[in-house]
Amino acid sequence: MPLPAAPCGGFFLLSQTPQTGRMMTASEPKLICRNVWKVFGAGAGEFLGVKDADTSLASLSKAGLVGAVRDVNLEVHAGEIFVIMGLSGSGKSTLVRCLSRLVEPTSGEILFNGENLLAASESRMIEIRRHQMGMVFQHFALLPHMTVLANVAFPLEVQGVDRETREARAKKMIDLVGLSGKENFFPRELSGGQQQRVGIARSLSVEPELWFLDEPFSALDPLIRREMQDEFVRLQSVLKKTIVFITHDFDEAIRLADRIAIMKDGSIVQAGTPEDIVLNPATPYVAEFTRNVPKAKVVKVGSIMRAAKSASGTGATVRERATIAEAAPIFANVDRIGVIDSTGKPVGVLHRDDVVELMMRG
Partner 1 sequence: MGAAHLTAWFAALAIFVLLWQFGEPISKWAFDYPKAWQIPLARWISDAMKWLVNEASFGLFTFTDLTRFIADIVNLPYRLALSLLSTGFLSGQGSSAVQILPPLSWIAVIAVVTLIGYHAGGRRLAAIVAICFGFLAVFGQWQSAMVTLASILVAVPLGVVGGLLLGIAAYRWPRFETALTPILDLMQTIPVFAYLVPILFLFGFGPTAAIVATLIYAMPPMTRITVMALRAVPSEFRDLGNMIGCTRRQMTWRVLVPSAKDSLMVGVNQVIMLSLNMVIIASMIGAGGLGFDVLAALRRLDIGAGLEAGLAIVALAIALDRLSQAYAARAGAPVAPASTGGLVARHPYTVAAVAVILVTGVAGLILPAVQTYPDALKLSTGSFWSNVVGWINVNFFDTFEAVKNAVLLNILIPFKRLLGGLPWLGVTGMLAFAGWRLGGLKLAAIVGVLAFLIAATGQWEKAMITTYLCGISVIFAALLGIPIGILSAERARLWSWVRVIIDTLQTLPSFVYLMPAVMLFRVGDFTAMIAVVAYSIAPAIRYTVHGLMKVDPRLIEAGRAMGCTPFQILTKIKLKLALPEIMLGLNQTIMFALSMLVITALVGTRDLGQEVYIALTKADTGRGLVAGFAVAFIAIIADRLISSGAARTKARLGLV
Ligand X SMILES: Nc1ncnc2c1ncn2[C@@H]1O[C@H](COP(=O)(O)OP(=O)(O)OP(=O)(O)O)[C@@H](O)[C@H]1O
Binder among 17, 93, 267, 303 for Mg ion (CB under 5 A): 93
CB-closest chain residue to ligand X: 93
Distance in angstroms (rounded) separating the CA atoms of residues 5 and 16? 9
Q: Does 283 bind partner 1 (CB under 8 A)?
A: no
Q: Does 180 bind partner 1 (CB under 8 A)?
A: no
Question: Distance of alpha carbon 343 from its chain centroid, rounded?
Answer: 25
306: three-class secondary structure by DSSP: strand
Q: Does 203 bind Mg ion (CB under 5 A)?
A: no
CB of 165 to partner 1, least distance (A): 16
Nearer to Mg ion, 93 or 270 (CB): 93
How many residues bind partner 1 (CB under 8 A)? The answer is 32
Span between the terminal Cα atoms of the chain, in Å: 28
Query: What are the residue ranges of helices labelled H in the chain?
Result: 10-26, 44-49, 57-62, 92-99, 122-132, 148-159, 163-176, 192-204, 222-239, 250-256, 274-279, 284-290, 301-304, 324-327, 352-360
Q: Does 216 bind ligand X (CB under 6 A)?
A: no
Binder among 69, 206, 278, 330 for partner 1 (CB under 8 A): 206
Distance in angstroms (rounded) separating the CA atoms of residues 100 and 170? 23
Going by the DSSP 8-state scheme, the letter that residue 262 receives in this structure is: E
Nearer to ligand X, 98 or 305 (CB): 98
Nearer to Mg ion, 139 or 345 (CB): 139
Distance in angstroms (rounded) separating the CA atoms of residues 34 and 342? 33
Q: Does 134 bind partner 1 (CB under 8 A)?
A: yes
Helices 222-239 & 10-26 angle (0-180, nearest 10): 50
Q: Which residues contact 241 (CB under 8 A, 6 or more apart)?
A: 79, 208, 209, 210, 211
Nearer to ligand X, 66 or 282 (CB): 66
Cα dist from 353 to 126, 296, 310, 328, 336, whole Å: 57, 13, 20, 11, 9
Instruction: Tell which positions 81-120 bind partner 1, by CB under 8 A.
Output: 97, 100, 102
Q: Does 158 bind partner 1 (CB under 8 A)?
A: yes
Q: Which residues contact 314 (CB under 8 A, 6 or more apart)?
A: 334, 336, 337, 338, 349
CB of 90 to Mg ion, least distance (A): 9
Helices 192-204 & 148-159 angle (0-180, nearest 10): 20
Q: Does 186 bind partner 1 (CB under 8 A)?
A: yes
Instruction: Tell which positions 39-98 bind ligand X, by CB under 6 A.
Output: 40, 66, 68, 86, 88-94
Going by the DSSP 8-state scheme, the letter that residue 83 receives in this structure is: E
CB of 242 to ligand X, least distance (A): 21
Binding-site partner at residue 90 among partner 1, Mg ion, ligand X, none, CB < 5 to 8 Å by type: ligand X
How many residues bind ligand X (CB under 6 A)? The answer is 12
Stretch that binds Mg ion, among 87-95, 123-131, 149-157, 234-242 (CB under 5 A): 87-95
- Binding residues for partner 1, per CB under 8 A? 97, 100, 102, 126-127, 129-131, 133-135, 137-141, 143-147, 154-155, 158-159, 184-186, 188-189, 206, 212
Residues that bind Mg ion (CB under 5 A): 93
Residues that bind ligand X (CB under 6 A): 40, 66, 68, 86, 88-94, 248
